[in-house]
Structure 1
Amino acid sequence: MYVFKDEFRTGITQIDEEHAKLFEIADKAYETLMDEFIPDKYDYIVEIINELKEYAETHFRHEEEYMISIQYKRLFSQKAEHNDFIEKISAYDLSDVDENQKDTILELLDFLNDWLIHHILGSDKLIGQ
């Protein structure tokens, strides 16, 4: 379902590789949702949330370091978007996740879908230009 396509490439190898990894994590969330053989998905969802948060923090640090190195003019707006992403992922209440597993993973997928499309195509692609 979530595949990193050429249209998402920025032309910056490290950033593109890290974006591809974010797509892999989103796909893991989708596969978890669709797996009917896992009736209790709580542990899987928590693992995905934690992996996403940790990986995004690393990716954002790399991306921001690159933007500093090229004196990118939109650095501060990018940092604000990155901070919003981390805040959103960090805000998940694990007891709510346990009680509403399907709703949580659907909400997470909706958020990731919007983020991956709008942020990468609307903001990150500009870095490579």
Structure 2
Amino acid sequence: MYRFKDEFKTGIEQVDLEHKRLFEIADKAYETMVDEYISDKYDYIVEILNELKEYAQTHFKHEEEYMLSIKYRKFFAQKMEHDSFIEKLEGYDLQTVDENQKEVILELLDFLNDWLVHHILESDKLIGQ
């Protein structure tokens, strides 16, 4: 379901490759949600949350370094959005994840969909211009 398309390209090769990986992690979350053969998805959701958080931190570091190197004027707004993304992921309570697996993964997918579409198209694409 989640595929990195040309419309999401910023024109910055490293950023685009890292965005593609974020789409892959989002797709992994989607595939976990629709997999009817996994009745208890807790471990999968926790793994996705951890992978997403770790990868996003690496990606944001690279993206922020690039923005600083070009003296990008909207750096601080971007940094605040990045920090908010990580805070959201860190805010998941594991007991809540365990008790409400379906709701949590749906919320996570909604959050990722909003982030991947809006943040990349409305914020990150401006970096490459």
**What's the TM-score once normalised by structure 1's chain length?**
1.00
**Residue 55 of structure 1 corresponds to which residue in structure 2?**
55
Aligned residues: 129
**Unaligned 5+ runs, structure 2:** none
Structure-1 separation of matches of 2:15 and 2:109: 21
For each residue in 1:72-111, what CA deviation from the matched residue of structure 2 results, as whole angstroms up to 9, or x when unmatched? 0000000000000000010000000000000000000000
Structure-1 separation of matches of 2:38 and 2:110: 21
Structure-2 separation of matches of 1:83 and 1:117: 18
Identity between Structure 1 and Structure 2 (%): 75
**Residue 5 of structure 1 corresponds to which residue in structure 2?**
5
Structure-1 separation of matches of 2:38 and 2:114: 26
Residue 15 of structure 1 aligns to which amino acid in structure 2?
A: V
The CA RMSD measured in Å over matched residues stands at: 0.2
**What's the TM-score once normalised by structure 2's chain length?**
1.00
Runs of 4+ deviating beyond 4 Å: none
Structure-1 separation of matches of 2:113 and 2:89: 14
**Residue 32 of structure 1 corresponds to which residue in structure 2?**
32
Structure-1 separation of matches of 2:37 and 2:119: 33
**Residue 119 of structure 2 corresponds to which residue in structure 1?**
119
